[in-house]
């Protein structure tokens, strides 16, 4: 837990800037939401709404939708495929740092943060809270081995979100999106239509996408039968493997793009801030 906390604190300065939800979630917009009283020293005087202020003898400024606090819900995949890794961190460990950073930055920004972990079922769910203690509760759960392992039931997790989380919520889904099948797509569309924003973070080990170079042929056998021997051409398998891996990754990304949700892919051997910055730069071009 202390190691995850230390890794989070190293990233938090970047996330204080990047976690402006109007940038991450295109759908949040900046629509006019009403008036609120002017706070000297905090509000820009140029934003004072003079007509309303003169009528009431008090200063008011326009409040836009982006200024209202959102509930943030972080949904983390803890299935067996997340326990794999060939780099310094397993995918599960990398995801814990990402989830912790999102939670800490959101609470510091004044937002309430909810949190869920899922594999075959929802393993744990925390109602949104803006207290800093919520961050430490989240970290405690992220490092608890009891919540890891099993199948990945994204369909069921999204059904839970759909029925349990309020509309005024921005959802982060952290997963490798491996072994999820196709049944999740309908629930995903429903969740995307209900919530203020959805953002997918695909965590991949490099070998999820690319097999090592120069392996050559390998020989596989059944340990219970010497007669059952299979020779595998790894160079040929590498091409087929990487083709299918890319197809699957792009398919997931397409589902997010089709509903207007945000999406980034990050490998466990690179800093998480890099693909997020690239995503923000790309969206600002449109």
pLDDT digits (tens, 9 = 90+) for 56-70: 777 777 665 544 567
pLDDT at 163: 95
Residue at 248 is within a domain = no
Of residues 202 and 13, more confidence is placed in 202
153 and 56 share one domain:
no
Residues 184 and 202 in one domain: yes
Q: Residue 161 in contact with residue 197, Cβ under 8 Å?
A: no
At residue 53, the 3 state secondary structure works out as helix
Backbone angles phi, psi at 138, to 5 degrees: -60, -45
Question: Is pLDDT at 181 greater than 70 in this prediction?
Answer: yes
Calculate mean pLDDT across residues 174-201.
Answer: 94
Same domain, 125 and 8: yes
Q: Give the per-residue pLDDT at 253.
A: 96
Check whether residue 58 and residue 166 sit in a common domain: no
On the question of pLDDT at 244 being above 70, the answer is yes
Of 18-32, 208-222, 257-271, the range with the highest mean pLDDT is 257-271
Q: How far apart are CA 12 and CA 9, in angstroms?
A: 5
Q: What percent of the chain has pLDDT over 90?
A: 51
The total number of structural domains that make up the chain? 2
Shared domain check, 81 and 193: yes
Q: Is 195 helix (H, G, I), strand (E, B) or coil?
A: coil
Same domain assignment for residues 112 and 41: no
- Mark whether 140 and 162 lie in a shared domain: yes
Whether residues 141 and 81 share a domain: the answer is yes
Over range 26-47, report the average pLDDT. 63
Asked whether the predicted pLDDT for residue 18 surpasses 70, the reply is no
The answer to whether residues 81 and 188 belong to one domain is yes
The domain of 148 spans 2-15+69-208+253-284
Cα 152 off chain centre by: 16
Q: Could you tell me if residue 141 is inside a domain?
A: yes
CB 120 within 8 A of CB 24: no
* CATH assignment of the domain containing 129: 3.40.50.410
Are 144 and 263 part of one and the same domain?
yes
In tens, the pLDDT along 93-123 reads: 999 999 998 898 888 878 899 999 999 999 9
CA distance 35 to 58: 12
């Amino acid at each position: 837990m202390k190691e995850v906390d230390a890794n989070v604190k190293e990233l938090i300065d970047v996330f204080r800037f990047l976690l402006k939800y109007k940038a991450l979630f295109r759908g949040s917009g900046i629509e006019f939401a009403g008036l609120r009283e002017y706070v000297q020293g905090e509000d820009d005087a140029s934003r004072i709404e003079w007509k309303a202020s003169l009528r009431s003898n008090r200063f008011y400024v326009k409040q836009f939708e982006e200024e209202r606090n959102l509930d943030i819900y972080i949904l983390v995949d803890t299935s067996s495929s997340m326990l794999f890794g060939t780099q310094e961190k397993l995918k599960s460990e990398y995801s814990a740092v990402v989830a912790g950073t999102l939670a800490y930055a959101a609470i510091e920004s004044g937002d309430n943060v909810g949190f869920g972990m899922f594999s075959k079922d929802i393993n744990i769910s925390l109602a949104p809270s803006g207290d800093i203690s919520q961050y430490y509760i989240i970290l405690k759960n992220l490092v608890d081995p009891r919540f890891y392992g099993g199948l990945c039931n994204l369909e069921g997790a999204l059904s839970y979100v759909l029925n349990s989380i309020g509309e005024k919520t921005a959802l982060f889904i952290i997963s490798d999106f491996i072994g999820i099948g196709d049944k999740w797509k309908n629930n995903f569309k429903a969740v995307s239509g209900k919530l203020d924003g959805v953002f997918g973070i695909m965590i991949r080990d490099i070998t999820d996408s690319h097999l090592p170079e120069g392996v050559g042929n390998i020989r596989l056998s059944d340990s219970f039968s010497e007669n059952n021997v299979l020779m595998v051409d790894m160079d040929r398998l590498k091409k087929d493997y990487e083709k299918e891996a890319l197809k699957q990754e792009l398919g997931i990304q397409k589902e997010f793009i089709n509903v207007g949700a945000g999406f980034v892919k990050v490998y466990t051997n690179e800093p998480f801030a890099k693909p997020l910055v690239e995503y923000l730069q790309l969206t600002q071009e449109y």
